[in-house]
Chain A
Amino acid sequence: MTKTFSELKFPGRLIAVEGLDGSGKSTQIHLLQKWLEVQGMKVFFSSWNSSEVVKSATSKGKNRQLLTPTTFSLIHATDFADRYERQLLPLLRAGYIVLCDRYIFTAYVRDTVRGCSPEWVRGLYKFAALPDLTFFFKADLEVSLARILDGRPELKWFEAGMDLGLAKDRYESFRIFQGRMLQRYMNLEDEFRFITVDANVPIETQQSFVRQTVSARLELPTFARNPVRAS
């Protein structure tokens, strides 16, 4: 699909955040959620890879290293489809602001770095509408690498891209893998009208920009739980 939820006349709006691990996007979307909630907005948060039904298959595949690029891609698409059809669509019909930590662009980027064909991956996610706003948290590669590697020294197999055979060392593999993903994200920036956030600056500065953008682009009062009626 090449239309956003607003273009499809949904009453709700979908805001997605994208970026590398360690780009700070989860922190930012969390702060955005808090801000909308204290204003009494109808907000729902959904993270990548969180469908209850699909979860056990995904973790089995990851723990036992059963996944190939194709099945890795398909199982994440299954997870996404489940959340999309059972959570996101109904909430968007009900006029919610839905916040997604990662959306289809994560798959475009990751799966193609793993060697899946770009047309195939895009085709898989064709059933999904585009976000109304997509924030892309763009940090220098070294900055996001440092954030991850300082705090959490144990890297998981697929997370480090070890299945790609880029390097024998997990840290080295992670670096190369993340670098390739950043490149692919940048290739999508214009096509999907990403709102690029400089993720090297302080958290507060980034959050101000995010909140200002959301205020400017969304008719926020219409998403209030108890709308104030002009009488």
Chain B
Amino acid sequence: MSALSAQKSPTPPNSIVLPPRTKRRFYGDGIPGVELDKIAGKLIVIEGADGSGRSTQITRLVEWMEGCGHATIQVGLKRSTLVSEELDRAQQGNVLSRTTLSLFYATDFADQLENMILPSLRAGMMVLADRYIYTLMARDLVRGMDEEWLKNLYGVALVPDGVFYLNVSPEELVQRTFQKKVALDYWESGMDLGLSRDMFDSFLKYQALVEQQFKRLQTNYGFDIIDGHRSADMVFAELQQRIEGVLSGTGKSALSVT
């Protein structure tokens, strides 16, 4: 994998581009006590459903960015020391009501934001996030949670430097999921919603609903939509180009939209 990507890309530079500092802000009230002007690194988010090619792209991006001389760390959902175990356990039993689940995920997110993302950015590192608040919001919106409530809740989040949503149709997602594993995931199929007793059916319906919410969020949060139906190489090339723009400060960021 590394030999392959090394062949394809030109020799990495010895003189490394120093990403220019930009003005940072939180979506809402933010985290108390955080000095935003101390943040040097860039936060780049890759969003998309399971099977959209997210993890493949992130692995390649980390390698490429480090090749370019930027220290890069990866963060994701449900990885916090604080609640990830409890969240897993609760999900298996399917005992949590929607508000509780939503707040549990928000706790996990905030824990990682404060203990991983912000310290890394302060240290001048690049942070690649395998999903961010948008996935959490889209899932909750499908479950009928109040949009204003969610907006307030995730007002703690830092506005990223780039958000790229890998868009793949539900029909294609289902095919890709079956190539990787033989069973559909209970939650990724939205079985808790009672859309259909047939899991296949429920998966398609649920993913279509999530996609719809993502498109709605896109108009508020202004992230870039990347066509994920193309080959991994083509998607990677587009991501590379856009992230180069973020790193050099020349790329137009849609995130200035509020």
Which A residues fall within an 8 A CB radius of B? Answer: 53-54, 56-57, 60-61, 66-71, 74-75, 77-78, 81-82, 84-86, 114-117, 119-120, 123-124, 126-127
Contacts of B248 in A (CB 8 A): none
Do residues A70 and B97 form an inter-chain contact, with CB atoms below 8 A?
A: no
Contacts of A53 in B (CB 8 A): 86, 90, 95-96, 100
Contacts of B115 in A (CB 8 A): 66
Contacts of B33 in A (CB 8 A): 69, 115
Contacts of B168 in A (CB 8 A): none
Which B residues fall within an 8 A CB radius of A? Answer: 28-29, 31-33, 81-83, 85-86, 90, 95-100, 102-104, 106-107, 110-111, 114-115, 146, 148-149, 152-153, 155-156
The answer, among B28, B31, B90, B104, for a CB contact under 8 Å with A68, is B31
Do residues A81 and B31 form an inter-chain contact, with CB atoms below 8 A?
A: no
Chain A: CB-nearest residue to B155: A120
A-B contact pairs, 15 of them (CB 8 A): A53-B100, A66-B111, A66-B115, A68-B31, A69-B32, A70-B32, A74-B110, A75-B82, A81-B97, A81-B102, A86-B100, A115-B32, A120-B28, A120-B29, A123-B149
Report how far A84 CA is from B153 CA in the complex, Å.
18
Report how far A84 CA is from B99 CA in the complex, Å.
10
Given contacts A71-B111, A74-B103, contact A86 B97 (CB under 8 A): yes
Do residues B97 and A123 form an inter-chain contact, with CB atoms below 8 A?
A: no
Chain B: CB-nearest residue to A82: B100
Report how far A119 CA is from B90 CA in the complex, Å.
29
CB distance from A202 to the nearest CB of B (A): 40
| Other A-B pairs, 16, CB within 8 Å; known A120-B29, A126-B152 | A53-B95, A54-B86, A67-B82, A68-B110, A70-B31, A70-B156, A71-B82, A74-B106, A78-B104, A78-B106, A81-B102, A82-B96, A114-B32, A116-B29, A119-B29, A123-B153
Do residues A116 and B106 form an inter-chain contact, with CB atoms below 8 A?
A: no
CB distance from B224 to the nearest CB of A (A): 28
Contacts of A123 in B (CB 8 A): 148-149, 152-153, 155
Do residues A85 and B99 form an inter-chain contact, with CB atoms below 8 A?
A: yes
Chain A: CB-nearest residue to B97: A85
Contacts of B98 in A (CB 8 A): 85
